């Protein structure tokens, strides 16, 4: 079952003044839930569009189920990718969109779609044009889930959904995936919310893959040490520091390394406090470290950083 179903080799996508994808290499295996994480504009949607042949790479190769998806019905029929800004025919209602999907996905489950529509309280007979942002997202989520396509992409599926509806989506996703295993690629920048659902994490930043690891390997792979600045610095000397913050004589330093139990005991004896680093914090730190290294701004992740700490 561990066959590769998505493979990207040296993918580049240039726009006028921007490298949307900058030498992306990626290999994804079947029947896992992947998180495609990164800031807005990092290249998540571009990458998914190119994999599904909705858009074209400037150079490089994108293979899905061993072949290019472009005009390839045998590949396309196994993919579902409703984008965040998905457009629908002008006079379509959600029920029309669902019936359309039923025509193209052999595993489509209409009952499941109906149940989801009820859960999301989606007015299936209202024109899609007139739906709220959250309801529009729900339409995409329902198509993605009920299509049960072998390779399903969710492109920031939570926009406009309230906390309850988002939780509903995550719950239904886990339940249905458990029953019908398939490959799910969940693009998100709300990392904390999805972290526990993911088996593997791919982080993209400014068109480059900066992290590609199993979620369980990442968990506990970094730690934040805080206490009096000189003690913290002495303790962490020579380690891979991701982030350093100081407040007077106190310091809080995040290192990209795990501590073994002897080191933990040592830290405790020094009166240092150890705290775990969430996936979101780690992604934020790594992204910012990358940005600092290339001297570019850190823009809109700052809010998420604050959120992560709260």
Partner 1 sequence: MSRTVAVARMQLINKWTYIGWPLTILAASFLMSLAIFALIPVNEGKYGGGSQAPMWYFLVLGIQSMTLVFPFSQGLSISRRAFYLGTLGLFSLIALGMTGLYLLGGVIERATNGWGVYGFFFSIPWVTDGPWYSTAAFFFVVMMFMFIIGFWFATIFKRWGTTGTLVSTLGTSIALIGLAALTTLLEWWGHVGAWFAQQTPLSISGWAALLCVVLAAGSYTTLRRATP
Partner 2 sequence: MIDDSKPIFMQIAELIENGIVDGSMAEESQVPSTNEFAAFHRINPATAAKGVNLLVDSGILYKRRGIGMFVATGARAQVIARRTEEFFEQYVKPLALEARKLGISAEQLNTMIERSSGLAPESGTDKERSAAL
Residues that bind partner 2 (CB under 8 A): 32-33, 170-171, 174-175, 177-179, 181, 195-199, 215-217, 219-220, 265, 268, 276-279
- Is there a contact between 137 and 158 (Cβ–Cβ < 8 Å)? yes
Interacting partner of 73 out of partner 2, partner 1, none (Cβ under 5 to 8 A depending on kind): partner 1
Q: Which does 83 bind (CB under 5 to 8 A by kind): partner 2, partner 1, none?
A: partner 1
Task: Please give the residues from 118 up to 177 whose contact with partner 1 meets the rule CB under 8 A.
Answer: 140, 143, 149
Pick the piece of the chain touching partner 1 (CB under 8 A) from 70-78, 159-167, 187-195, 231-239: 70-78
The interface with partner 1 within residues 82-101 (CB under 8 A) comprises 82-83, 86-93, 96-97, 99-101
Tokens of 292: 């600092």
Angstrom distance (rounded) from CA 37 to CA 167: 18
Q: Which does 72 bind (CB under 5 to 8 A by kind): partner 1, partner 2, none?
A: partner 1
Q: Could you tell which of partner 2, partner 1, none binds residue 76, using a CB distance below 5 to 8 A set by kind?
A: partner 1
At residue 38, the 3 state secondary structure works out as coil
CB of 295 to partner 1, least distance (A): 32
Please report the sign of the dihedral spanned by the C-alpha atoms of residue 222, residue 226, residue 229, residue 232. negative
CB of 157 to partner 1, least distance (A): 13
Rounded Cα distance between 252 and 247, Å, is: 8
Q: Which is nearer to partner 2, 89 or 220 (CB)?
A: 220
The set of residues, in sequence order, having a beta carbon less than 8 Å from that of 111 and lying 6+ positions away, is none
Pick from partner 2, partner 1, none: which does 277 bind, CB < 5 to 8 A by kind?
partner 2
Provide, rounded to whole angstroms, the least separation between the CB of residue 196 and partner 1.
28
Residues 6+ apart with CB under 8 A from 140: 82, 83, 84, 86, 154, 155, 157
Q: What CA–CA distance (Å, rounded) separates 144 from 152?
A: 6
Query: What's the rounded Cα separation, in Å, for the pair 141 and 127?
Result: 17
How many angstroms from the chain centroid is the CA of residue 201?
7
Q: Which residues bind partner 1 (CB under 8 A)?
A: 49, 52, 54-56, 69, 71-73, 76-83, 86-93, 96-97, 99-101, 103-105, 140, 143, 149
């Amino acid at each position: 079952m561990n066959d590769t179903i998505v493979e990207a080799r040296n993918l580049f996508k240039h726009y006028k003044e921007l490298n949307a994808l900058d030498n992306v290499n990626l290999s994804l295996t079947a029947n896992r839930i992947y998180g495609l994480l990164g800031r807005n504009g990092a290249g998540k949607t571009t990458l998914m569009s190119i994999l599904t042949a909705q858009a074209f790479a400037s150079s490089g190769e994108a293979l899905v189920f061993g072949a290019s998806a472009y005009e390839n019905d045998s590949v396309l029929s196994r993919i579902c990718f409703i984008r965040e800004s998905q457009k629908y025919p002008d006079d379509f209602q959600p029920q029309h969109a669902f019936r359309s999907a039923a025509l193209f996905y052999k595993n489509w489950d209409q009952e499941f779609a109906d149940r989801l529509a009820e859960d999301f309280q989606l007015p299936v007979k209202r024109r899609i044009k007139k739906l709220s942002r959250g309801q529009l997202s729900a339409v995409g989520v329902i198509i993605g889930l009920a299509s049960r396509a072998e390779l399903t992409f969710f492109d920031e599926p939570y926009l406009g959904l309230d906390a309850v509806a988002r939780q509903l989506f995550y719950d239904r996703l886990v339940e249905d995936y458990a029953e019908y295993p398939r490959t799910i690629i969940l693009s998100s920048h709300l990392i904390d919310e999805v972290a526990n659902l993911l088996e593997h994490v791919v982080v993209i930043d400014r068109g480059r893959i900066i992290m590609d690891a199993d979620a369980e390997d990442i968990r506990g792979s970094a730690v934040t040490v805080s206490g009096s600045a000189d003690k913290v610095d002495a303790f962490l000397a020579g380690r891979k520091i991701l982030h350093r913050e100081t407040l007077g004589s106190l310091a809080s330093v995040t290192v990209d390394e795990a501590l073994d139990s002897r080191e933990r005991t040592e830290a405790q004896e020094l009166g240092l406090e150890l705290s775990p680093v969430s996936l979101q914090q780690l992604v934020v730190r790594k992204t910012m470290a990358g940005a600092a290294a290339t001297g570019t701004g850190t823009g809109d992740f700052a809010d998420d950083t604050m959120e992560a700490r709260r």
